[in-house]
Amino acid sequence: MATIISGKEVSAKVKEEVRAECDRLRQQGVTPGLAVIIVGDDPASRVYVNNKKKACAEVGFVSEEYALPAETPQEELLALVNTLNRRQDIHGILCQLPLPKHLDETAVIHAIDPKKDVDAFHPSNVGKIMIGDYDFLPCTPAGVMELIHAAGIEVSGKSCVVIGRSNIVGKPMAMLLLHENGTVTICHSKTRNLKEICLGADILVAAVGRPKFVKGDMVKEGAVVLDVGINRDENGKLCGDVDYAEVEPKASYITPVPGGVGPMTIAMLMKNTLSAAKMAAGLL
Ligand code: GUN
* Per-residue pLDDT, 222: 98
Task: For residues 143 and 257, state if they share a domain.
Answer: yes
Read off the CATH number of the domain in which 40 is found. Answer: 3.40.50.10860
What predicted TM-score, i.e. pTM, was given to this entire model? 0.97
Task: For residues 176 and 88, state if they share a domain.
Answer: no
Question: Which protein residue has the closest C-alpha to ligand 1 atom 11?
Answer: 97
Task: For residues 111 and 157, state if they share a domain.
Answer: no
Give the domain-ending residue among 82, 115, 148.
115
- Is 18 part of any domain? no
93-23-9 Cα angle (round to 5) = 75
Ligand 1 midpoint to CA 97 (Å): 5
Task: For residues 220 and 150, state if they share a domain.
Answer: yes
Percent of the chain at pLDDT > 70 equals 100
Domain containing 144 equals 139-262
Read off the CATH number of the domain in which 186 is found. Answer: 3.40.50.720
b/e map 211-244, b = 16+ CB within 10 Å: bbbbeeebbbeebbbbbbbbbeeeeeeebbbbbb
Q: Is the pLDDT of residue 284 over 90?
A: no
CB neighbours (10 Å) of residue 35?
A: 26
pLDDT digits (tens, 9 = 90+) for 43-97: 999 999 999 999 999 999 999 999 999 999 999 999 999 999 999 999 999 999 9
Read off the pLDDT of each residue in 32-40 and give the average, rounded to a whole number: 98
Task: For residues 89 and 159, state if they share a domain.
Answer: no
Reported as a pLDDT band with limits 50, 70 and 90, residue 200 is: very high
Ligand 1 midpoint to CA 135 (Å): 18
Q: Which residues are catalytic?
A: 52, 96, 119
- Is 2 part of any domain? no
Read off the pLDDT of each residue in 127-148 and give the average, rounded to a whole number: 97
- Is 13 part of any domain? no
User: Are 96 and 49 spatial neighbours (Cβ–Cβ below 8 Å)?
Assistant: yes
- Is 278 part of any domain? no
- Is 14 part of any domain? no
Read off the pLDDT of each residue in 238-246 and give the average, rounded to a whole number: 98
> How many independent structural domains does the chain possess?
2
Task: For residues 101 and 168, state if they share a domain.
Answer: no
Reported as a pLDDT band with limits 50, 70 and 90, residue 103 is: very high
Task: For residues 167 and 251, state if they share a domain.
Answer: yes
